[in-house]
Structures are given as C-alpha cells and as structure tokens.
Structure 1
Amino acid sequence: MSGWERSSTARVVSPARPRKLAKVPFVELADGRLQGVVSSGSDIERVYVSSVAAGTYAFACSTNNNRPCGGARGTFCNHLRALVGEAVLQYGAERVARYLRVDAGDEELGAPLLTSAMTSTRPPQGDTTAAAPVFSRFLRHLAYLELASATGPLPEMQWFPPTRAVA
C-alpha cells in the first residue's frame, strides 16, 4: 500500500492551467455531471448552481435558493458556458470531453467547441435536485479555507476504514 493510501489526505491534481476563482469558485466532475457554482454577474450576493449531465447533456442552472436561471431556457445560459470554460482550465479539454462523453471529432478541443457540440444535440432541461448537494460541497470547501494551516489529520476526514482487521 502506498503512503497516500495510509493517510487521511488525498492527492491533489494540479489544474491544467491556472484559473481565476472569482467567476466560477467551484467546479467538479462528479456524480455523472460537470457541476459547480458560478457567481452572478449582476448581484454580488447571488450565485448559481449549474450542471451538465454526461452523455445526455441535460442541464440545470438555478440560484443558491433554487430559483431558476432566466437564461437557461432551451439552451445553455452564460453560467453554464462559464462552468464549461473553467472546467477546461481546471481539468483540461480532453478530460472534460471524455467525462461528459462529447464527441468533437478531430478538431482541437476547447471550451467553445465542447459547448457547441453539447448544445447542437438540443439537450433537455435537467432537474435541479443536484443543486443542494453541489452547493453544500462548495460551502464545505469554503470552510476548509478558513482553517489554519496544519499538517495533522482533520477529524471529519477520519471516516476511512481501518487498514488492519480489528479483533
């Protein structure tokens, strides 16, 4: 067993390229979706929880208090486009395309091409039930930023099962 498997820390994959966190502070490839939190362009206190499902490209975008996004009516809104763009910066275009199962042919992958390939299929509006868990994970990440730097284990990360049998 390697060292990282015996500890309560996980390897952190460096971003493909540096990104600014002001517009899209949280982005992840999880639960069969590209999902994240996108800041509002008009209200500093409002954020949107946006997601795109792998394979079907069903999309959802709503505010942090579950009000639907006015721009996500039948096509990707600006929040979803920003999410795809930041995911490409964070994970790389090839990884995002592979995760979402986007076939972009032989063209050079990038956020505009991925978005175009997904929206050309007329994706359905998705459900917003994923918004609450995504926003909750975002808030959890923010809480970790407030912790003082330490090398010791975090109690909430101790859910890993023991590596040796308990008699």
Structure 2
Amino acid sequence: MSDRERSSTARVTAPARPRKLAKVPFVELADGRLQGVVSSGSDVERVYVSSVRAGTYAYACSTNNNRPCGGARGGFCNHIRALIGEAVLQYGADRVARYLRVEPTAGEPSAQTVTDDMSGTRPAQGDTQAAALVFSRFLRHLAYLELAPTTVPLPEMQWFPPTRAVA
C-alpha cells in the first residue's frame, strides 16, 4: 500500500522552480515511478505518456492511443528526457534522484546528471503498466482546470460521509 493510499490528504509541495506547462503538462513522482504526460513536438493533438521506474529505471513511452514511441528503442527518448527535466524543475534534482534511487556520480545532481546516471545502467524498456492510469490522472487534472473558481466543496473530493452532530 502506497503512502498516498494510507493518507486521506495529498501533500502539496511548491515547485522548486517555475516551469512551463506546454511541453510537459503533467509530471508526478508516484507509485514507484517518475511519470507524466509530454506533448508531441510534431502533432498538437498527440501526447505521450512516459514513465521511469525507481531503482530499475525500466521505462515506457507511448502515445495517448497506446502506440509505442519510435524514439524509445534502446534508451531514453526525448519525451522521457523532457519528463526528467521538468520533474527536476518541479521537485528539485535532489528529490528526483532520491526518489528514483539514482546514485550521483559527480557533484550536485541536475536533470542532465540524473538522466546520464540512469542511462549509464542500460535501463530496460517495457514498464507499460502505468500508461492508462497516468493518462487518466492527467485528464482528471484537466477537468479541474475547467471548473470556475469557487470555495464550495467538490463532491468527488469529499471522501468521508457527513457526521451527525451529537446532541
């Protein structure tokens, strides 16, 4: 059971540095993976769901239509590299390296050194279990962005039944 499943709240951490959402609109460290959604450079209607598993660095990259990325053969594709870069902006290089269990080889970790240190281990392709879940989370986040600002509670965010006042 993950920490998220044991907790009734999700801890929100301020970004390490501001980032642009056009290239990588969704990135998270969850379920033992760095995972997220990366925009296609050639088609505005296509996105890629990319992930890297902590410890083994097994990776996956496929389109929102579940077609494999052509660049993810034998190593990290540009989508996974962009995901790592944005994760470092969002969470900081130390936290990303620690989460992925990357042993830094030289100096302070950065997006480049984290990527290089994982790439040097010859990660295996094939961790495709996360794609549907990650894309579903991304779509749920998009739906919240379309809501008008309000202070009224959202029914789907109320996890506990109402309690009666004791008289």
**Alignment TM-score > 0.5, same fold:** yes
Distance, in Å, in 2 between the alignment partners of 1:43 and 1:25 is 15
Distance, in Å, in 2 between the alignment partners of 1:24 and 1:84 is 10
1:152 Cα shift? 1.9
Match of 1:68, as an amino acid?
P
1:9 Cα shift? 7.0
Match of 2:123 in 1: 123
Match of 2:4 in 1: none
| Unmatched segments (≥5 aa) in structure 2 | 1-7
Query: Are 2:72 and 1:77 aligned?
Result: no
Distance, in Å, in 2 between the alignment partners of 1:63 and 1:137 is 15
Distance, in Å, in 2 between the alignment partners of 1:115 and 1:51 is 13
Match of 1:100 in 2: 100
Match of 1:22, as an amino acid?
A
Match of 1:115, as an amino acid?
T
**Percent identity between the aligned chains?**
82
Alpha-carbon spacing, 1:10–1:133, altered in 2? closer, same or farther (3 Å): closer
| Unmatched segments (≥5 aa) in structure 1 | 1-7
Alpha-carbon spacing, 1:145–1:103, altered in 2? closer, same or farther (3 Å): same
Aligned runs of 1:1-167 on 2, under 5 Å?
Answer: 11-160=11-160
The DSSP-based 3-state class of the residue aligned with 2:27 is strand
TM-score, normalised with respect to structure 1: 0.89
Match of 1:24, as an amino acid?
V
RMSD (Å) for aligned C-alpha atoms:
2.0
Distance, in Å, in 2 between the alignment partners of 1:56 and 1:95 is 17
1:99 Cα shift? 0.4
Alpha-carbon spacing, 1:104–1:148, altered in 2? closer, same or farther (3 Å): same
Note if contact 2:38-2:82 (Cα within 8 Å) is conserved in structure 1: yes
1:163 Cα shift? 8.4
Tell me the number of residue pairs that the alignment of Structure 1 and Structure 2 aligns.
158
Deviations 1:52-97 (A, max 9, x none): 0000000000000100000000100000000000000000000000
The DSSP-based 3-state class of the residue aligned with 2:43 is coil
